[in-house]
Amino acid sequence: MGRLKLQAGINAIEEEPEESDPSYSNKTTLACMINSEIGAVLAVMRRNVRWGGRYMSGDDQLEHSLIQSLKALRRQIFSWQHQWHAINPALYLQPFLDVIRSDETGAPITGVALSSVYKILTLDVIDQNTVNVEDAMHLVVDSITSCRFEVTDPASEEVVLMKILQVLLACMKSKASVMLSNQHVCTVVNTCFRIVHQAGSKGELLQRIARHTMHELVRCIFSHLQDVDNTEHALVNGSSALKQETGGPNNEYAFGSRQLENGSMNSEYDNLPLSTNFASATVGTANVMDENIAIPGSGKETIPYDVHLMTEPYGVPCMVEIFHFLCSLLNVVEHMGMGPRSNTIAFDEDVPLFALTMINSAVELGGPSTCHHPRLLSLIQDELFRNLMQFGLSMSPLILSMVCSIVLNLYHHLRTELKLQLEAFFSCVILRLAQSRYGSSYQQQEVAMEALVDFCRQKTFMVDMYANFDCDITCSNVFEDLANLLSKNAFPVNCPLSSMHILALDGLIAVIQGMAERIGNGSVSSEHSPVNLEEYTPFWMVKCENYSDPNHWVPFVRRRKYIKRRLMIGADHFNRDPKKGLEFLQGTHLLPDKLDPQSVACFFRYTAGLDKNLVGDFLGNHDEFCVQVLHEFAGTFDFQDMNLDTALRLFLETFRLPGESQKIQRVLEAFSERYYEQSPHILANKDAALLLSYSLIMLNTDQHNVQVKKKMTEEDFIRNNRHINGGNDLPREFLTELYHSICKNEIRTTPEQGVGFPEMTPSRWIDLLHKSKKTAPFIVSDSRAYLDHDMFAIMSGPTIAAISVVFDHAEHEEVYQTCIDGFLAVAKISACHHLEDVLDDLVVSLCKFTTLLNPSSVEEPVLAFGDDTKARMATVTVFTIANRYGDYIRTGWRNILDCILRLHKLGLLPARVASDAADESELSAETGHGKPFTNSLSSAHMPSIGTPRRSSGLMGRFSQLLSLETEEPRSQPTEQQLAAHQRTLQTIQKCHIDSIFTESKFLQAESLLQLARALIWAAGRPQKGNSTPEDEDTAVFCLELLIAITLNNRDRIELLWQGVYEHISNIVQSTVMPCALVEKAVFGLLRICQRLLPYKENIADELLRSLQLVLKLDARVADAYCEQITQEVSRLVKANASHIRSQLGWRTITSLLSITARHLEASEAGFDALLFIMSDGTRLLPANYVLCVDAARQFSESRVGQADRSVRALDLMAGSVSCLARWTSQAKEAMEEDEVTKLYQDIGEMWLRLVQGLRKVCLDQREEVRNHALLALQRCLTGADEIYLPHSLWLQCFDAVIFTVLDDLLEIAQGHSQKDYRNMEGTLILAMKLLSKVFLQLLQDLAQLTTFCKLWLGVLSRMEKYMKVKVRGKRSEKLQELVPELLKNILLVMKTRGILVQRSALGGDSLWELTWLHVNNIAPSLQPEVFPEQDLEHLQHKQVESVGGLVTDEKGSVLSNQTVSREDAGIVG
């Protein structure tokens, strides 16, 4: 069908220039204009034969009255004295209007007269202040709407009709239009619609102009709704409205009309004639006024407007009538039997589209003001929305698109009044059409999706859906369904990406970005306290105190959602076992502990997803409790003003009517009782309701059961129901209506179980209107993130999946960017609402797209990466998320590390990633240990990987790449390769990978811990000996990173330490050969200790204990690194000696140092450290004293290095006595008595350990060391004056140290060759001197002891042995000289001090006797020398006793030895 699309032409006709220049107020100018119009009309009339000749008539008139009145006006206009606004417009309009009304004039004359009126109206002569303007405007409208003319040819008729439209529109747009009455406005619209209708049989142009004018009229009228006062009788020209109107709406509407013409409306009309019955149903001059349609509502609202109101200046009444009329245009199509495919689309589309377009304009312009006018609002709530639901399922994309636009406008302006209607629209239209499985065409799906995405772009739309529907137990989960729909529709399943997928993705991302934007608006951080129902409260009665205050409605909504979720779980349990289901709900406090009928009834009524068969069985049960539940259940329905069949349909929709007749009877009894209680109008009693209900059920079975062959007729039905109404008959028309309703529309007694989305049936619509009066108010959310946490938790999974799949399939950069924006928004929301699992899923998903985790089949992965935009964008996004939202990443760190390791293998990481940012200077100094870390792998090991990592310089990287290929001559990289490589490097730069680790000190504890665990996991478990170079490189790199974050987080070392220690421990204990990994582990450990000891005294012991790992190194490994390890330990000690407090810590340090004593390269550094600790005594502590002494002993015994060092070590040991002395003196001053005693005891033990250590060195093979050790021992023994040493300790010392060393040296001198021990004689002399000196120094104290005698005999026996010792086979002359001399000295001292005196007592003096017994064996000449005055006789007597010389002597000596040793054992024990 060829359509004229002459939009420009329409403009030309419609919008003649509007002459509103003030200069026209000049009286004469206006008079001239009107004069010229009179001339024009007369001229056309004269051309006509009827008017042209002399007017012949039987009357006296010379001319026809029409011409006369025009001429009379001509005579008057120039002589009027007043201003134009003081002249009654009727005077100069009447002659023209008479011409228009006259049926004698032909079309050309009427047309010119209409043009004249149009011109006068547009001159702005007439406004609301003009005299008699109201009558004049009514006159114009009446005249134009009753225009008559003779039709001579179709073209001229169309011209006249077009001009009528023009004048009517000019009337409505003129400033004086506010004076028109409601009735006149309705007439104008009606006339216009008649022309629209007639135009169906005329030309295309007229059709277009007629529709356009109609549209403009509606816009013009409804644009005044906002100026109308808030009353039912509201008028446009209330005093306030007048002021606003004087600005004149002309310009506004000229713009408005143009805007609409560019829309789809004009070009889409069909020129099919409208059927005649349609016209008769809607057209007729008085039609608009006469239709007294009762609008659903209550009380006075249902009364039609009275005549008086219709004659007042126009306002809401005419708008209600016009809106009602527009809705009725939609109904007409319905009455004609509009099946989805019954008529051609052309007709189905034409009228509804025309009506919908005008309704849309009315809604747009009426806007929120509609709320203030109940009749208009109720039209929208019921009639309009019911039609929208129906046309929403239209096959025509144009109609569907217009319906969606109207609903979007209604959502915008009136959502608070349309809660359940909106729910129904989304459930029954959008969700149904947007999925192909419900039979919708691709076009329908696309339009529905576009509409949904438009809704999603409204910032608070999804929040509104969630708060009002998902969190309301009586509504469906609209938000969840819509979010799932978007996610599902974004998924390309086995098909390439289409515009539909991108559209759904846009919707999803709009929702997500809305949430992300709300984060900045506050109310996020309020940690959601989980909802918990402590006690039973009726869940269907939960109310909110204030629906407009977020402090009230947010907790209320969350509580309702919790209840709804629990009810769903309860429903699931109920469907498996009704008893357990009810018990579960009692357990969650949704039902009372003792079940009551009302609560169970409400559970059945308000819980979605229940098995309707089970509910039916329960309700039909004869058990008394079940019967009570049934009656309560019926009581939840609202059957007010409902037809019986509608009520019955609604009732039986909620469960399956049981099959047994008794159960059916019980159910219907409950129903009838409730129905009669609420709608007693026609029925006499509840029995009548019961019988009629039964009758309807039987009729339903009869009509719709295929097995019933002979169907019941209407007469049969009426006959069956005689006398049931309390003995009387029910009205015949009532029964007829019921009969037809059931025949046409089956009552389904087996409701479909959970089939997709419900259809909107008439009975459901009635129920919806009933519910909408009682439903909770619509909650309007603001721009803060109150519920985003809960919403996002629901939609995040499908959303990430959908965006990922689109990203995977996409090929265009703008789609990539859309997806990336979505990913970043998801990350922001997850982080902000602390949804760590979601963030991890996102990271996992994104890491797949970096292509870094794919096994590299590509020959040149670096170039492939450079050429892959998607991979590069994904990589930057992963690292952006890691840097921005790392606090909330948990398991995702593993995937991020996999990417980092891959980049590392490709040599793409910046050199400083693994370095510790706080420690650059130290690092550069440290790479000297053994091999440099960086090249722990050479390129020869890894041909597949390319360069050793951290290669620098683009060309360097390339030459290496190219040299790996074959032996062919190297070729220069191409431009493309260079560009790809450059892109790769830029991408890596944008990632800021290093800051993940350098900034790790700002990570939250849990995230940091997971990062460290991921590093340990990525490094893999070390295996003995069979790891590839590549694995080792990875392990080294991970360890570097682990150490870096450990050092960066010294304040939180407690958190990381256990994992780091175990990892290093595994490496150390599983490595059998020196390698980069173990090197990094050991030195990393030492570095950690060095850096952390000063800051972390609380874990100093643990840190130092960890160094024991070094002691567990395999011998070969330890040997390789011993020197560097020692240097590090030395550095550690020097830097941190003051921070090492505990014995445990020192034990580790000294163990490490002791080991080095036997290692050639390491011993120097080790001794250096020991020297540092022991040299000036300030670093020796009771905690480390014994350990240091022991370490010094090991150095002194060590044959590695010069003997000089052993001597220095001995000096350190000997010098340490001064520390003991110092501590003793400090203790006296500072401490409590019992503490002092304890400390003295400890100091004594330390001293004993010191001298025991020296005793061991005294046996050294090297003469210099051995002798120095004896001197040192002597210093320690004689220098112990200031130390408090109890006598028992001295006895122990003699026994375990002095006597033992003498005995051991004697044994060595006699038993070893001269080669091993040079010059033993000198050593023995030193030993003898030591014995003498110490004994003399302690004589005074020792003499007091009861065991002194044994001690003394021990000394004598040693002297005796030394006297007789043979060195190299002969006795030593020096000893022969020295021993008697020393002995003499001792005896003299003993004599002087009165220790050795002869006491004549009974039984003899054992000390005296025994002394001389031994002395005479050593040097018989000593007694006379020491005691010359003794009686000679006595001496002789003694000598007689000792005959037998040696044997006795030896025997005696043995005896005495045994005695001593026995006593010693006692002392030691």
Which residues are identified as catalytic? 660
235 beta partners: 315
Residues 6+ apart with CB under 8 A from 782: 460, 550
For residue 890, give the 3-state DSSP assignment: coil
Query: What residues form DSSP beta bridges with 181?
Result: 313
- What is the C-alpha separation between 868 and 850, in angstroms, rounded? 9
CB 590 within 8 A of CB 566: yes
Strand residue runs (E) in 1297-1441:
1366-1367, 1370-1371
Helices (H), strands (E): how many in the chain?
A: 71, 2
Give the max Cα distance, the chain: 210
**What sign results for the dihedral spanned by CA atoms 1353, 1359, 1360, 1365?**
positive
Q: Which of 191, 195, 217 is nearest to 206 (CA)?
A: 195
Residue with tokens 């003096």: 1405
Residue 104 CB-density burial (10 A; 0-12 exposed, 13-18 middle, 19+ buried)? middle
Instruction: Give which of 1399, 1362, 1397 is closest to 1378, Cα–Cα.
Output: 1362
CB of 1112 within 8 A of CB of 1069?
A: yes
Cα 949 to the chain's mean position, in Å? 36
Distances (CA, A) of 843 to 744, 823, 1282: 57, 9, 71
C-alpha distances out from residue 554 to 203, 463, 923, Å:
60, 11, 55
Question: How would DSSP label each residue in 244-266?
Answer: HHTT-SHHHHHHHHHHHHTSHHH
| 3-class DSSP assignment, residue 14 | helix
Q: Are strands 1366-1367 and 1370-1371 parallel, antiparallel or unpaired?
A: antiparallel
Q: List, as one string, the DSSP characters of 712-760.
A: PPHHHHHHHTTTTBTTBPPPHHHHHHHHHHHHHS---SS--SS-SS---
SS3 sequence of 160-212: HHHHHHHHHHHHHHCHHHHHCEHHHHHHHHHHHHHHHHHHCCCCHHHHHHHHH
What is the secondary structure of 907-951 as a DSSP string?
T-S-TTSSS-GGGHHHHHHHTTSSS-STTSS-GGG-TTT-SPSS-
- Long-range contacts, 1111-1117 (Cβ 8 Å, 24+): 1111/1151, 1111/1152, 1111/1155, 1112/1068, 1112/1069, 1113/1068, 1113/1071, 1113/1078, 1113/1082, 1114/1071, 1114/1072, 1114/1073, 1116/1072, 1116/1073, 1116/1074, 1117/1071, 1117/1072, 1117/1073, 1117/1074, 1117/1078
Chain-centroid distance, C-alpha 752? 38
Q: Under DSSP, is residue 5 helix (H, G, I), strand (E, B) or coil?
A: coil
DSSP 8-state assignment for residue 470? I
Q: Rounded CA gap, 949 and 939, in Å?
A: 9
CA atoms within 13 Å, Cβ hemisphere of 1151: 15
* DSSP letters for 306-368: PHHHHTSBPBHHHHHHHHHHHHHHHHHHHHTT--TTTS-HHHHHHHHHHHHHHHHHHHHHHGG
What's the CA gap between 697 and 721, in Å, rounded?
13
